[in-house]
């Protein structure tokens, strides 16, 4: 839930407001698309909800997590919110399984040692996203659609109730967009996750989303 939320950037005492007085509710178990023109604040809002930017004013709630006036929420965001951004990850020689396993970072020790439970979560995420048989593939050898599924699998391995995605279909062809949207819808409906994604593709959102929010 957003309550009179104002988002933007702060540098010292100077503020740049991108969007102000945002009020809405994003429901669990639904795929919600956030639409708006370029520069309207879609990405800034997602970064604020993800904890990357402090809100300039107002408050927000995601499940039992609340943030406001730049105050960190008591519940660790890394165990509440999973994020897939548009920036392409420089994975070097990482394999699919290794990238997905990064989603378990909030639960592992200092050395990143995976427990049996961690490995089960990684295996389940790989299966859910249709990546079985591709675990040893190097990330840079994958198509754009396959890479996006890897990053979503990483978030699933993180086991957060909330997933935020910034333009996840941006680099995909028509078939890839359809497959990804159906995957996200299935995760929302079957897993009960709260999924909020930004998109410029209004037609795709109208055809596949459960709810559409405009900013």
Q: Are residues 76 and 6 in the same domain?
A: yes
Q: Are residues 3 and 75 in the same domain?
A: yes
Q: Are residues 56 and 106 in the same domain?
A: no
CATH value at residue 76? 3.40.50.300
Q: Are residues 137 and 178 in the same domain?
A: no
Q: Are residues 37 and 93 in the same domain?
A: no
Q: Which domain holds residue 147?
A: 88-159
Q: How many residues does the chain have?
A: 215
* Residues 38-85 pLDDT 10s: 889 999 999 999 989 999 999 887 655 555 443 344 557 888 899 998
Predicted TM-score (pTM) of this structure:
0.89
Tell me how far apart the alpha carbons of residues 29 and 138 are, in angstroms, rounded to a whole number. 33
The pLDDT of residue 85: 87
* Residues 168-214 pLDDT 10s: 998 888 998 999 999 999 999 999 999 999 999 999 999 999 999 99
Tell me how far apart the alpha carbons of residues 41 and 21 are, in angstroms, rounded to a whole number. 12
Q: Are residues 67 and 100 in the same domain?
A: no
Tell me how far apart the alpha carbons of residues 152 and 113 are, in angstroms, rounded to a whole number. 21
Q: Are residues 75 and 96 in the same domain?
A: no
Compute CA distances 51 → 54, 60, 71, whole Å.
Answer: 7, 11, 10
Q: Are residues 117 and 19 in the same domain?
A: no
């Amino acid at each position: 839930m957003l309550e009179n939320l104002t988002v933007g950037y702060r540098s010292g005492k100077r503020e740049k407001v991108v969007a102000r007085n945002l009020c809405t509710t994003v429901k669990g178990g639904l795929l919600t698309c956030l639409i708006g023109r370029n520069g309207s604040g879609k990405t800034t809002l997602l970064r604020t909800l993800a904890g990357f930017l402090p809100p300039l004013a107002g408050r927000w709630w995601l499940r039992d997590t609340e943030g406001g006036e730049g105050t960190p929420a008591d519940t660790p965001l890394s165990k509440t919110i999973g994020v897939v951004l548009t920036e392409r990850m420089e994975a070097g020689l990482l394999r699919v399984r290794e990238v997905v396993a990064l989603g378990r970072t909030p639960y592992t020790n200092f050395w990143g040692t995976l427990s049996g439970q961690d490995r089960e979560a990684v295996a389940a995420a790989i299966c859910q996203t249709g990546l079985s048989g591709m675990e040893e593939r190097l990330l840079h050898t994958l198509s754009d659609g396959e890479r996006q599924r890897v990053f979503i699998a990483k978030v699933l391995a993180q086991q957060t109730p909330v997933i935020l995605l910034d333009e996840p279909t941006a680099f995909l062809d028509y078939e890839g967009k359809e497959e990804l949207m159906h995957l996200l819808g299935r995760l929302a409906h079957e897993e009960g996750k709260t999924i909020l994604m930004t998109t410029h593709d209004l037609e795709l959102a109208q055809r596949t989303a459960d709810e559409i929010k405009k900013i």
